[in-house]
Structures are given as C-alpha cells and as structure tokens.
Amino acid sequence: MKILMCSPEFYGIEYEINPWMNKKIKTDHSLALSQWKKLQQIISDCGAKVELMPSVKGWPDMVFTANAGLVFDSKIILSHFKHKERQGETPYFKEWFLKAGYDIFIDPLKDKRIPAFEGAGDALFAGEKLFCGYGFRTDPHFYEEITFIPKEKMILCELVDPYFYHIDTCFCPLNEEQAIWYPEAFTKDSQQRIQDQIELIAVKEEEARHFACNAVVLDKNIILPKNCPEISTTLTNMGFTVHTTEMTEYIKAGGACKCLTLRLD
C-alpha cells in the first residue's frame, strides 16, 4: 500500500471554487500542519508507505493529492482541472509521476481538447469497477477517453449537491462489494445505477457534511474525520478498525482525509 501526500506548507484559502471555501475564513497554519502530520502518522501506522511530493508556493490546494490524477497499474491519467486556480498544479504532478516511472496515459498539458477531469477525487475503483463522478468538476465525456477499462465496468454517477462536488465527498468503496455513501448527493438515476452495482451503507446528512465519506481505506483500517459517530460505530461493527482524526482546517477548503491522499497501488 503506497499513498502520495503533499505537505501543506503553502496551503490556505486563497480563492473560492466550492461552497465550503470562504476567503474570510482563514486556516490556522500550524493546526493544518499538525492535522496533516497526524493523518500521515495514522496512514503509516496502518502499514502503508507514504510518498511525499514537494509543495509549491502559489498552488494552495496542491495538498489535495487525490486530484492529481487517476492511477491504474503503472499508468497515470493526469487531471485536467476545471478551474484555472488549480490548473497550474498539473505540471508539478506530472513531473513527480515521470520521475517515479509512471506512463502518462492521458496528458491534458499536451492535448488541450481533453475534457475536464479531477482524478481520484471523481473516479473511484471498487475492484474492477470504476465509479465515475461528474457534474461539477469532471465532464462526463472525459470517461470516453479511458479506453483500457471496459465500458460496462464504468458506472457514471451524476452529482447534484454543490457541497458534494467530487464523488469522494459522498461515496467511498470499502472493498469490492461494499461502499458507504450519502445518496442525496446523486441524481435519482445515478442512485439506482450505483445500487445496482454495489452494496451500500448510507451515511446520515450531518455526518456526510462532516466528510464521513471522505475516508481512507487501507484493507480493514478506515481513517475518517472526527464527528462521525454513527458511521464509525457501523464500520466497527462490520469488523473495520476505525481511526478518526481532526480535519477542521481542510474542511474549510472542502476536503478531508481522503482528499489529502492518492493511492498509488
């Protein structure tokens, strides 16, 4: 298990590209750093190797490595960020993946006609199935570019609530057969489509708004933000080891545990 993270050295709320972000509500820099380090520690304690990539001044959301791209074997599909505020992150992520020996499968820096796509923030594997979020950041046509996954394995999931603008804010596979989710974040059609593919455990609204679904799953360990007691108990009763950790400084930007990580294998 390998996870990519990026230090929050230059993290902050410098613009507003989702309804959680408010430039007047600043982050506490040292608290953000300690919350990030704690997450890194829990991930390592769960037996995963954390790879670090350098942070870059001027790109405050780079800490959210989930949005770097989508990893598949030794291939990386680089993100084509919807907002210009994040587009400048891509060359740095590209450089890291090239150095790490990945093949760049889709490169929006070379091919400008690639539709918008925000990586593992919007596309999540459960076994061989890829749950493909769209509606706010990712353009559904993007998924036509992924030719190495059979069409029937790609489940298109339309998001409707701007507070749940990436699929990883409202859906989290636990393994090949089960996922937690906040159903109201999806259109009725997409709810049905998801239900047809995987067994689901619903998270209540209050906990979904505390980013309960933004969980890091490392085999039987699950890391999620504090203040999600009901789903934590449910997951514990299912046999998972639940770790909860403070994420207040990242929720101000519309992210939490999972957004701060990118699974590399």
Q: Which residues lie near ligand ARG (CB under 6 A)?
A: 17-18, 21, 61, 64, 66-67, 86, 121, 166, 168-169, 253-255, 259
Q: Which residue is nearest to ligand ARG (CB)?
A: 121
User: Least Å distance between CB 239 and ligand ARG?
Assistant: 27
User: Least Å distance between CB 166 and ligand ARG?
Assistant: 4
Question: Residue 32 carries which side chain, given as an amino acid letter?
Answer: A
Establish whether 29 is a catalytic residue: no
Looking at beta carbons only, is 243 or 258 nearer to ligand ARG? Answer: 258
- Buried b / exposed e along 245-255 (16+ C-beta atoms within 10 A): bbbbbbbbbbb
Q: Any idea what the Cα angle at residue 41 is, between residues 202 and 66, rounded to 5°?
A: 55
List the catalytic residue out of 172, 213, 257, 259.
259
Q: Are 93 and 54 spatial neighbours (Cβ–Cβ below 8 Å)?
A: no
User: Least Å distance between CB 168 and ligand ARG?
Assistant: 5
Looking at beta carbons only, is 23 or 233 nearer to ligand ARG? Answer: 23
Looking at beta carbons only, is 159 or 241 nearer to ligand ARG? Answer: 159
List the catalytic residue out of 6, 132, 166, 172.
166
Establish whether 141 is a catalytic residue: no
Looking at beta carbons only, is 231 or 260 nearer to ligand ARG? Answer: 260
Long-range contacts of range 216-219, CB-CB < 8 Å, 24 or more positions apart?
216/3, 216/39, 216/43, 216/257, 216/258, 216/261, 217/172, 217/173, 217/174, 217/175, 218/1, 218/43, 218/46, 218/47, 218/48, 219/1, 219/46, 219/47
Residues annotated as catalytic are: 166, 259
